[in-house]
Homo-oligomer: A and B are copies of this chain.
Amino acid sequence: MRYRRVPDETIKRLPIYLRRAIHLSQKGVKCVSSAELASLLGVTPWQIRKDLSYFGGFGTRGVGYNVDKLISRIREILKLNVVRKAALVGVGNLGSAILSYPGFQQYWLDIAAVFDIDKRKVGKKLSGLIIEDVSLLGTLKDRGINLGILAVPGEAAQDVADDLIKVGIKAILNFAPQYIEVPRGVKVVTIDIALYLARLPYYVSSK
């Protein structure tokens, strides 16, 4: 296979394949075809094959994909082959929900620190973590944390993001309804919840 740029859309789909592969592995399934995977995920078989082929292709012709190999290869590609630590900033309603969200662990992701600006919250325990004051973000450098999760109001998002970057965070998951400007080498992925709901009426047939 020749080298080709990997579409970002492919990267977005890999975690879905990974999750399903883990699930199948736990059920004792050893081998899966692209058609089987596809039907469960609402994707086409050729989409899956193409996606995987960007990384050399690791199936067996005439058979399918070895589930465990699928898992280890995708983990490797996504750099999820070690536990990745994240810091959450902002423990309001949404922040708290994210902190207790059960879906991160399966990807070897660990929210290892929580910060808030509200002195009344600082020091309290939440989901096994002590809430720290945002002024202590500097300590992240020595704690092996390089992912950030922003669950702060829009007005504060850019400032907090700047602070996180100053402290060595290289990638941020942003829940604030706000565009965030970052220097080269830092990645922001934004989940702007209201945007999704606001889109729905458009699709409802006018009848």
| Chain A residues in the interface with B (C-beta under 8 A) | 11-12, 15-16, 18-19, 40-42, 77-80, 84, 86, 93-94, 96-98, 100-101, 103-104, 106-107, 109, 146-147, 149, 170-173, 177, 179, 181, 185, 187, 189, 191-206
Given the known interface contacts A11-B202, A201-B147, A206-B79, the answer about A103 and B193 at a Cβ–Cβ threshold of 8 Å is yes
Inter-chain contacts of A199 with B (CB < 8 A): 11-12, 15, 78, 189
- Knowing A96-B97, A173-B196, A179-B42 touch, does A202 contact B79 (C-beta < 8 A)? yes
Inside 8 A of A93's CB, which chain B residues have their CB? Answer: 96-97, 100-101
- B173 and A107 form a contact (CB under 8 A): no
Closest to A23 in B: B154
- With both beta carbons as reference points, the residue of chain B lying nearest to A172 in the complex is identified as B200
**Bound complex: CA A196 to CA B15 (Å):** 9
By the criterion CB–CB under 8 Å, are A191 and B194 in contact?
A: no
Bound-complex Cα distance A198 to B146 (A): 13
Evaluate contact between B171 and A203: CB separation under 8 angstroms. Answer: yes
From residue A56, how far is it (CB to closest CB) to chain B in Å?
Answer: 16
Pick the contact of A197: B107, B192, B197 (CB < 8 A): B107
A96: chain B residues within 8 A (beta carbon): 93, 97
Residues of B within 8 A of A187 (CB): 200, 203-204
CA separation between A6 and B199, bound complex, in Å?
A: 14
